[in-house]
Chain A
Amino acid sequence: MEKKYSELGELREKAPKLFGVPTGTKLDNMFWKIEFEGKPIKKPLGGLPHLSVINLTGIPDSGKSLLAEQFALHQASEGYKVLFVTVESPANFLYTSLRAKSRYLNLDFDEISKNIVVIDASENAELREDPRALMDTMAYAIKEKRTNNVVIDSITGLYEHKEMMARQIVRQFFNFLKKWRQTAILVSQKRSAQGADTAEAAGGLAVAHIVDGSIVMDKKLIESKWEMSTYRLPIGSVLRTIRIDGCRLTGHDTRTWVFDITEGGTIEIISPLEEYIKRGDRNGSD
């Protein structure tokens, strides 16, 4: 009879190695690992934890898709294959966006485009409505194209009119991504009643509970003199923040960081909010 359990020691060979999968942003240094060189030393992981499934959530226009696209571009530019499942933006618009960003980042888009395969679920109801059909299609792409990374933008789009199914659907995709050994970003949208700075998203806390970690992106409109003076930003401007809300695979920075969206539509993380306020400039260091 087959053994239904494993002794801890038996898992040694199966345990994934802990290293970073770079996003090309300062986020890469916000995850860390502890190495022992006589004493424990904290070292930057250099990216999202390998084989992690990360929930990237935020209110509209907080930069989620931009960061997800930047991750895809950076990985593709490094020669790693990426499967991009677009549920919101049709593939031709995604193409334009990726091409523009790669030019801004001075990356070779011809090479990059060879390393990105797109599943366009935005214009195909079966792919959006039937998780099995989408997972079969993803399995085909992962196997045939030998991808290492997956972006789903957005996972919310797969249950937007049936949020009571969120937990079940997210669990299926989480297990699927683990089985196929992919490092993944699941973009999830927030509903108006949900706290902008929390990991809660459409479907409640289902996504955050199931996945390995959450990154919360937020924006704040400067509306008062107090905010003007605290953030040293003009009235009507926007302060953008990013925070790793949790990660069960590795240690991470828990601070709220300030970031900008550049003219080229890329994410540039500036400094922790506390330093940003203390220094009052947009060039704070990390």
Chain B
Amino acid sequence: MEVIRAPVREIDVDALAEQVFQESINILGGLRKIIEYKNLTWLPSLAEAAYAIVMKEEMMKTHKEIAMDLGLTPQTVQNILRADAKEVEKFIKGEIEKVDEHKAGGIAKLAYERVKKEGRITIRERELEVLGVDWAIRVLTRLKGADFPLNKQQLLEKLRGVAIKDKPFEEIAEKMKFPVNSPADVLHQIKQSID
């Protein structure tokens, strides 16, 4: 009979989602390969999928709850959660030419399984910083629980002090359209303004 005598803290969703995100990059062949193939636009989707999978598996959240937390549509979350990881894996390996599944969802699922199985982190935060793709996770972490839509002032408060590719967010915000409707909208607009 197992006895738990002290509180077990809720899982650190942010930390685990970051691990899954990093492992997803690894599955895709590493950051260099992503850059070489000009697939950097995948990163925001991967970040969202990493969170969605972790929320589903670790917090038993429903797809509607996840959709509300991440500011995605329930359909998008459902596509992520229902993605056939094996099919996506075949696609990544080039065994099939086309896949109808949600690619980021499938990759995040594979990554989650690896992280849980092996418990390893393969890409360090500073490596992500060097390659300039750490911002998506940082932004999503700050936006967790935000009540969208957000106006400019509200978003500035949430992302105060965040720098993206050495630009203060305050500077980036000047180029954005408000209100922002979801975390995905924020990521998309940031991506556009720094490219």
Of A24-32, A110-118, A197-205, A253-261, the one touching chain B:
A110-118
Decide: B3 and A91 in contact? CB cutoff 8 A. Answer: yes
Most buried by A among B1, B5, B64, B67: B1
Q: Which of A56-64, A126-134, A215-223, A278-286 contacts B (4 or more CB under 8 A)?
A: A126-134
Q: Count the B residues whose beta carbon is within 8 Å of the partner chain — how many?
A: 19
Size of chain A's interface in residues, with CB distance under 8 A? 27
B8 close to chain A: CB less than 8 A: yes
Q: By the criterion CB–CB under 8 Å, are A2 and B67 in contact?
A: yes
Residues of chain A lying within 8 A (CB to CB) of residue B10: 136, 139-140
Docked-complex contact B1 and A118, CB < 8 angstroms? yes
Binding site for A on B (CB under 8 A): 1-11, 58-60, 64, 67-68, 73-74
Q: Among the listed A114, A127, A143, which residue makes an inter-chain contact with B6, where contact means beta carbons less than 8 Å apart?
A: A127
User: Smallest CB–CB gap between A57 and chain B, Å?
Assistant: 26
Closest Cβ of chain A: how far from B81's Cβ, in Å? 16
Contact assessment for B64 and A120 in the assembled complex, using a CB-CB cutoff below 8 Å: no
Instruction: Give the chain B neighbours of A168 by CB distance below 8 A.
Output: none
Neighbouring A residues of B58 by C-beta, 8 Å: 143
Q: Which residues of B contact A126 (CB under 8 A)?
A: 6-7
Return B57 CB to nearest CB of chain A, in Å: 9
Which single residue of chain B is at the shortest CB-CB distance from A109?
B1
Contact of A124 among B6, B11, B67 (CB under 8 A): B6
Q: Are A140 and B8 CB-contacts (below 8 A) given A113-B1, A117-B1, A145-B2?
A: yes
Residue of B nearest to A130 (CB): B7
* Cβ-defined contact, B1 with A136, below 8 A: no
User: In the complex, are the beta carbons of B8 and A137 less than 8 A apart?
Assistant: yes
A119 touches B4 (CB 8 A): yes
